[in-house]
Amino acid sequence: MTKRVGFIGLGDIGWPMAAHVAKVYDCTVWNRTFAKVEAFATENKAAAAESPAGVVAASEVVITCLPTSKEVLEIVQQAGDAWHNGQLLIDCTSGDPGGSTHVAEFLRARGAGFADAPVSGGVGGAERGELTVMIGGTDEDAARAIQVVDCFAKKAEHVGPVGAGHAVKAINQGLLAINIQAAGEGLAALVKLGVSGKKALEVINASSGQSNVTKNLFPNRVTNRQWPRTFRLALLDKDVGIAVKILNDNGVPSDAIGTAHRAFSEARRILGEDADHVEFVKVIEEKAGVEIE
């Protein structure tokens, strides 16, 4: 039974995930900003490592939650000889299937297993321990990963071989982007026609066009003009780009998700790297000359 779990990447979502891990397991953490490592260790009774290798050496299972698969591979390679037979890396990064394959091969050569396990549910879901986790890997590695991520997951599902978890997450993000863009465009037009944005959402949410975007994101962020920053538009743009590549690599049309990717890339250039993903709607509003209220 796993007792020692390491966590690498204490970002907005990684921190609360790691906090749940520290409640259940002997936890060792590392982050590029060491002040964050020290603060987390003090607040959560975890051990502070001075390097990725320190986390790997102290752990049976290691969890990564980083910006991209590129950083994951760099960190895994930095740990080098610290990896040993019987360990497991659970990568909760919203990465790409190809990157997962490279990481898995590197670890397999050292006797360690790998499961790509991206999450959905945002910072709020991480804080509540109610994330959805999509897991790619062998049956054995996935089963072991599910036991560990259970401490911060409401639902954890083995969806296929290595890379499948990242693929499912990327497609999910593509659908999220499409829904934000479509709802923003449609509601902007309705407001210009004299329809209250709030009233339109009430009707749509009792009809066939409803989605999580119309039921939760727009009422809590757009029509009330709050714009909380919980997930960066830049990261969604990155994820949707991965989804487009998956479609193109597999000979599948990418008309809808490709359109969303182009639109989100433009919004990223306009709004910058720190904007929240739902602030994409501000670009639609600017072009339409209207606010959705």
169 counts as catalytic? yes
DSSP the chain: ---EEEEE--STTHHHHHHHHHHHSEEEEE-SSHHHHHHHHHHHT-EEPSSHHHHHHH-SEEEE--SSHHHHHHHHHHHGGG--TT-EEEE-S---HHHHHHHHHHHHTTT-EEEE--EESHHHHHHHT-EEEEEES-HHHHHHHHHHHTTTEEEEEEEESTTHHHHHHHHHHHHHHHHHHHHHHHHHHHHHTT--HHHHHHHHTTSTT--HIIIIIIIIIITTT----SSBHHHHHHHHHHHHHHHHHTT---HHHHHHHHHHHHHHHHH-TT-BGGGHHHHHHHHHT----
In the set 36, 169, 238, 282, the catalytic residue is 169
Residues 6+ apart with CB under 8 A from 202: none
Catalytic residues: 169
